[in-house]
């Protein structure tokens, strides 16, 4: 049966010349009611997945863009989730991977991602207060979490939806996704002890942040169990500039030649540690082992003998996106919480 002229062959064909596509345009093309179209675009749970896919496909084809002001008037929401992050330099693009994975987690939802930066010399509370007080986003995702993070305390007090990449001392009460840095520290020491290492130097993250304390607990407790000497670097962290780490490691090894392994918490500091020990005249994997975690498989290409554990940043971002959406839509439900536990499968 030939297609009726009133039934366009494509979604674009159903768009009248001139004018901006609207919900009515999508309804006319799809044959569905305007309220159904609206609910599908807003990911309503009572609308089937196939219907949602159809509506989104049509919307994309005709270039439909929701009127943000109208959405906010109707629902009180912005359909925006803000990722609040420091502008500090990230050599191995950990930040970029987290942004990309959060954005991926919001794909095919009505929510859009904005990144709200803050500077190292700025009070981290400023961007959080701005978002809450202006209502410029429906939820916040943030990292660099402290044990008693004032941002988390503020958001819980205001009942403002959020999710954290890392855990606070109140993590039973809020959404989070975290990497088990205590397990990482423990596994690092176990593997190094199995290789006969006895004097292990640890370059930890800044101890103002929760994951640093978790990592230090893992290395110190397991070091005591295995009978190896653990020294936590004083005056340098895994977030320091690479040149600083290189010089610090070189001078530390000169003063303490008994050190036979280095554990660090980032890819950039692991590379700097290798440079420092090589300047000292040692060889990684021979006189001194280096053990690190990384968000992307790189270190083995840099030096094949570096020992590593993987951190799945892509998984973290996707989980945090879903956790933030649940915090917006279903605040009465238990918060989504995830903990990535590293596996002891490093060769």
Q: Which of 39-48, 137-146, 149-158, 190-199 has the lowest mean pLDDT?
A: 39-48
Taking the domains of the chain in order of start, what are their residue ranges? 12-65, 75-174+313-340, 181-310
pLDDT at 281: 96
**pLDDT at residue 11 above 70?**
no
Q: Which helix (H) or strand (E) holds 192?
A: helix 181-194
Q: What's the mean per-residue pLDDT of the chain?
A: 88
Contact 24, 34 (CB under 8 A): yes
pLDDT for 90 beyond 80: no
CATH 3.40.50.2300 fits 181-310, yes or no: yes
Any idea of the CA torsion for 239, 245, 251, 257, to the nearest 10 degrees? Answer: 80
* Whole-structure pTM value: 0.79
**Bridge partner list, 309:** 293
For residues 286 and 309, is the Cβ–Cβ distance under 8 A? no
The side-by-side arrangement of strands in the sheet containing 162-165 is: 112-118, 80-86, 139-142, 162-165, 176-179, 337-340
Task: Assign a CATH topology to domain 75-174+313-340.
Answer: Rossmann fold (3.40.50)
Q: What pLDDT sits at residue 74?
A: 59
- Answer whether CATH 3.90.226.10 is correct for domain 12-65: no
CA dist., res. 218 & res. 208, Å (int): 17
- Quote the DSSP letter at residue 256: -
Fold match between 75-174+313-340 and 181-310? yes
Q: What spatial distance separates the first Cα and last Cα of the chain, rounded to whole Å?
A: 65
Structure tokens at 247: 């010089």
pLDDT tens profile 230-263: 999 999 999 999 999 999 999 999 999 999 999 9
Q: What pLDDT score does 234 carry?
A: 94
- pLDDT tens sequence across 91-121: 455 778 889 999 999 988 889 999 999 888 8
């Amino acid at each position: 049966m030939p297609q009726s002229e009133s039934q366009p062959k494509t979604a674009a064909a159903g768009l009248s010349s001139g004018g901006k596509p609207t919900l009515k345009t999508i309804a006319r093309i799809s044959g569905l009611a305007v309220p159904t179209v609206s609910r599908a675009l807003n990911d309503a749970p009572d609308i089937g997945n196939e219907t949602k896919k159809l509506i989104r496909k049509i919307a994309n084809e005709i270039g439909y863009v929701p009127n943000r002001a109208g959405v906010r008037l109707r629902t009180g929401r912005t359909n925006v989730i803000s990722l609040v992050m420091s502008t500090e330099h990230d050599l191995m693009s950990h930040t970029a991977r987290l942004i990309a994975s959060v954005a991926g987690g919001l794909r095919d939802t009505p929510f859009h991602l904005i990144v709200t930066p803050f500077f190292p010399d700025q009070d981290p509370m400023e961007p959080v207060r701005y978002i809450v007080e202006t209502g410029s986003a429906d939820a916040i995702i943030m990292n660099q979490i402290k044990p008693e993070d004032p941002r988390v305390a503020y958001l819980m007090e205001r009942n403002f939806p959020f999710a954290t990449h890392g855990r606070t001392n109140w993590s039973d009460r809020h959404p989070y996704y975290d990497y088990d840095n205590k397990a990482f520290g423990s596994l690092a020491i176990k593997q190094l002890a199995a290789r006969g290492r006895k004097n292990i130097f640890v370059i930890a993250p800044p101890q103002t942040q929760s994951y640093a304390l978790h990592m230090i607990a893992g290395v110190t407790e397991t070091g005591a169990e295995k009978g190896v000497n653990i020294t936590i670097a004083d005056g340098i962290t895994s977030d320091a500039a690479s040149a600083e780490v290189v010089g610090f490691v070189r001078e530390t090894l000169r003063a303490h030649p008994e050190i036979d392994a280095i554990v660090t918490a980032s890819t950039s500091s692991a590379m700097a540690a290798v440079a420092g020990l090589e300047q000292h005249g040692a060889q990684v994997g021979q006189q001194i082992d280096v053990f690190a975690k990384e968000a992307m498989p790189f270190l083995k290409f840099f030096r094949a003998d570096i020992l590593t554990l993987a951190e799945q940043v892509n998984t973290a971002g996707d989980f945090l996106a879903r956790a933030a959406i649940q915090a917006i839509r279903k605040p009465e439900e238990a918060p989504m919480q995830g903990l990535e536990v590293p596996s002891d499968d490093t060769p």
